[in-house]
């Protein structure tokens, strides 16, 4: 079974169970300051898991583009990916464990669907602790479906619990499904979840039935939800009998291009294979980040920094294969061609994707040349003084200020008969990472999909400001990105020039005039066509469902948006633009507050 077949089969299966197929969201989260990327299929649906009414109903399914970079250093093995597609189905206060588990079992084992041998299926459930009881309900359901007790494993919270995004919030036990690959047990403690590769995780059903309080207690939620996830890449690898995702049709065309450019084969040796896998993964991920409807470009902060790191890591490994600058272009073209029938935004942004990748390659080449020159000075100085080791502090300085990778430093030093204090480098790197993490924690503090009153007010102000910008600057103004915390809003929009002081004041005055009028904010659910016919504006680019929420702010503006909003504009306070600056070519950025 190929990826295209799996996507369609999964979604049709859940449509037959009265789910509405909804489109996937951007990999750049909208108005969520807590994360850089959409990390799971449930991420865009968090407001609805918390009780917000979804315009498409209580049963949903889709395929979501996801980016995870928490384990970026592990990419290059046979399983880890930074970009992946996640199939999911949701119950928003509708069905619960009985139906969710039964449908998972049916889709996995029925000959009409995936047809896995039921005797190879093992499952895990939450074993319970002093705060939350064992998930006996899930155990009973699995037994009822024919899974014997010896293949049902009760595991602790670290294995079978979906926690809140922050310190508090909705959470609950999960049940995970594994296929036995037939490998021998690695030891007496080998079980599903073991890293030896005997058990292959294929699906996860999360039962959101608790809320963790500030006191650390787990209180049952009034609305019970189901959130499931099945990874496309991992599942088709299993269905095709492949040992790695890189052997499936999603990667083999990319691997063939790298083989042709390098004159090497992915299975020449482990070092070469690792380089192939990193390049294939990182360029594929970069294509989806740049080509997204809310696409961004390489930079030094946030998502731009992650993108830059992905591209530069791929350049490092490309050098190991002796690939020339520009190697990313044919790989990116392959990714675009292979995915555009599913994600049309890649074709729409083809030229931007190719240009940004090659531009970043060329920038990093200059960085490496600068780092090499700096290192040569260090080596000359050491030799003059009869020393044979580059200190960890110096190696880290080259890495931090020049972007010069440690392994490059080690290779050049080895050629000169010198060594590098790797332990010292790791110590400096760890200290740097702790400082960075503290900064990130401050920058991204807050609840996932924060719906506090302060955030609602700023979200409402963003709509008013967007309409004001279009009134003052022209109809060409379109949102290109948004990030809202409880203390400020950040808004990227298309515009060709810096705003004048007069334009800034006109926008501020128009927003504050709407606030002073204390206009009501009303929401209606209607079809997308009806919303368009009534003149509703889409606040961000991308796909919408057939049924959408439309927010009207008096007679001033009407937008398609998921919410949440303030009830009246009079609640907002005084609007002030703190800064207006360039974000990227043809895109301006406003930072504003409510006082």
- Residue linked to tokens 């083989």: 259
pLDDT at residue 437 tops 80: no
pLDDT at residue 441 tops 80: no
Q: Which pLDDT band, with edges at 50, 70 and 90, does 13 fall under?
A: very high
Here the tokens at position 222 are 């009034």
Q: Which pLDDT band, with edges at 50, 70 and 90, does 443 fall under?
A: very low
Q: Which pLDDT band, with edges at 50, 70 and 90, does 173 fall under?
A: very high
At 540 the pLDDT is 52
Q: Residues 197-210: what's their mean pLDDT?
A: 92
At 336 the pLDDT is 98
| Higher per-residue confidence, 80 vs 477 | 477
At 447 the pLDDT is 30
Q: Residues 545-555: what's their mean pLDDT?
A: 87
Rounded CA-CA distance 468/554 in Å is 14
At 32 the pLDDT is 63
Rounded CA-CA distance 543/293 in Å is 9
At 87 the pLDDT is 96
Q: Residues 248-267: what's their mean pLDDT?
A: 96
Within 10 angstroms of residue 16's Cβ, the number of other Cβ atoms is 9
Q: Which pLDDT band, with edges at 50, 70 and 90, does 391 fall under?
A: very high
Within 10 angstroms of residue 385's Cβ, the number of other Cβ atoms is 6
Average pLDDT, the chain: 89
Q: Residues 33-52: what's their mean pLDDT?
A: 79
pLDDT at residue 442 tops 50: no
pLDDT at residue 440 tops 70: no
Q: Residues 495-504: what's their mean pLDDT?
A: 94
Q: Which pLDDT band, with edges at 50, 70 and 90, does 543 fall under?
A: low
Rounded CA-CA distance 394/388 in Å is 13
pLDDT at residue 444 tops 60: no
pLDDT digits (tens, 9 = 90+) for 291-326: 998 878 888 778 888 899 899 889 989 998 999 999
At 449 the pLDDT is 46
At 146 the pLDDT is 95
Beta bridge partners of 206: 174, 227
Handedness of CA 202, 75, 315, 356 (dihedral sign): positive
Q: Which pLDDT band, with edges at 50, 70 and 90, does 33 fall under?
A: low
pLDDT digits (tens, 9 = 90+) for 339-376: 999 999 999 999 999 999 999 999 988 888 888 888 98
Q: Which pLDDT band, with edges at 50, 70 and 90, does 401 fall under?
A: confident
What lies within 8 Å, CB to CB, of 169 at 6+ separation is: 211, 212, 447, 448
CB 13 within 8 A of CB 87: no
pLDDT digits (tens, 9 = 90+) for 57-100: 999 999 999 998 876 666 767 668 999 999 999 999 999 999 99
Collapsing DSSP to helix, strand or coil, 124 comes out as strand
H/E run at residue 275: helix 270-290
Rounded CA-CA distance 303/297 in Å is 8
Handedness of CA 139, 145, 149, 154 (dihedral sign): negative
At 512 the pLDDT is 96
At 77 the pLDDT is 72
| Higher per-residue confidence, 350 vs 243 | 350
pTM for this model (two decimals):
0.76
At 541 the pLDDT is 45
At 20 the pLDDT is 96
Long-range contact list for 260-264, CB < 8 A, 24+ apart? 261/321, 261/323, 261/324, 261/327, 261/330, 262/321, 262/322, 262/323, 264/321
Q: Residues 210-226: what's their mean pLDDT?
A: 89
At 485 the pLDDT is 81
Q: Which pLDDT band, with edges at 50, 70 and 90, does 450 fall under?
A: low
Q: Residues 270-284: what's their mean pLDDT?
A: 94
Here the tokens at position 335 are 């990714």
Q: Residues 426-440: what's their mean pLDDT?
A: 69
Rg (CA), the chain: 26
């Amino acid at each position: 079974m190929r990826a295209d077949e799996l996507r369609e089969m999964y979604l049709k299966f859940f449509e037959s169970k009265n789910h509405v197929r909804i489109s996937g969201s951007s990999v750049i989260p909208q108005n969520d300051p807590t994360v850089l990327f959409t990390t799971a299929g449930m991420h865009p649906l968090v407001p609805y898991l918390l009780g917000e009414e979804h315009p498409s109903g209580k049963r949903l399914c889709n395929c979501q583009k996801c980016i995870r970079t928490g384990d970026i250093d592990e990419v290059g093995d046979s399983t880890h990916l930074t970009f992946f597609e996640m199939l999911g189905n949701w119950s928003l206060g509708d069905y619960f464990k009985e139906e969710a588990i039964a449908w998972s079992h049916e889709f996995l084992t029925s000959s009409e669907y995936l047809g896995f041998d039921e005797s190879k299926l093992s499952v895990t459930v939450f074993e319970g602790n002093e705060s939350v009881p064992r998930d006996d309900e899930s155990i009973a359901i699995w037994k009822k479906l024919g899974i014997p007790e010896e293949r049902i494993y009760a595991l602790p919270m670290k294995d079978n619990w979906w926690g809140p995004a922050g310190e508090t919030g909705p959470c609950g036990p999960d049940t995970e499904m594994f296929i036995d690959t037939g490998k021998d047990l690695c030891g007496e403690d080998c079980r599903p979840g073991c890293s030896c590769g005997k058990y292959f995780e294929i699906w996860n059903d999360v039962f959101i039935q608790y809320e963790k309080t500030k006191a650390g207690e787990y209180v049952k939620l009034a609305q019970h939800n189901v959130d499931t996830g099945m990874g496309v890449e991992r599942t088709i690898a299993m269905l095709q009998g492949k040992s790695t995702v890189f052997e499936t049709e999603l990667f083999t065309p990319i691997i063939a291009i790298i083989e042709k450019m390098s004159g090497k084969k992915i299975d020449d040796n482990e070092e070469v294979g690792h380089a192939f896998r990193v390049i294939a993964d990182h360029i594929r991920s970069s294509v989806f980040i740049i080509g997204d409807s809310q696409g961004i470009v390489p930079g030094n902060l946030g998502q731009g920094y992650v993108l830059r790191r992905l591209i530069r890591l791929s350049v490092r490994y490309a050098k190991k294969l002796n690939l020339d600058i520009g190697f990313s272009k044919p790989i990116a073209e392959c990714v675009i061609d292979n995915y555009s029938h599913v994600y049309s935004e890649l074709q729409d942004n083809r030229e931007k994707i190719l240009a940004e990748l090659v531009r970043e390659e060329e920038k990093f080449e200059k960085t490496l040349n600068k780092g090499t020159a700096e290192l040569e000075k260090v080596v000359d100085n050491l030799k003059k003084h009869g020393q044979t080791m580059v200190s960890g502090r110096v190696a880290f300085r080259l890495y931090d200020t020049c972007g010069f990778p440690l392994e490059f430093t080690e290779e050049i030093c080895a050629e000169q008969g010198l060594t590098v204090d790797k332990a010292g480098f790791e110590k400096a790197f760890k200290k740097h990472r702790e400082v960075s993490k503290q900064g990130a924690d401050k920058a991204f503090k807050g609840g996932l999909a924060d719906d506090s009153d302060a955030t609602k007010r700023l979200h409402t102000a963003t709509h008013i400001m967007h309409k004001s910008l279009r009134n003052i600057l022209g109809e060409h103004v379109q949102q290109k990105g948004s990030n809202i915390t409880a203390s400020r809003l950040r808004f990227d929009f298309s515009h060709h020039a810096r705003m004048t002081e007069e334009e800034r004041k006109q926008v501020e005055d128009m927003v504050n005039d709407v606030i002073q009028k204390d206009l009501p904010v009303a929401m209606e659910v209607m079809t997308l066509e009806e919303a368009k016919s009534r003149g509703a504006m889409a606040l961000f680019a991308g796909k919408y469902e057939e049924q959408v929420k439309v927010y009207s702010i008096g007679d001033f503006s009407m937008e398609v948006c998921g919410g949440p909003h303030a009830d009246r504009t009079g609640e907002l306070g005084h609007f002030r633009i703190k800064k207006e600056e360039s974000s990227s070519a043809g895109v301006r950025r406003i930072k504003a507050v409510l006082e």
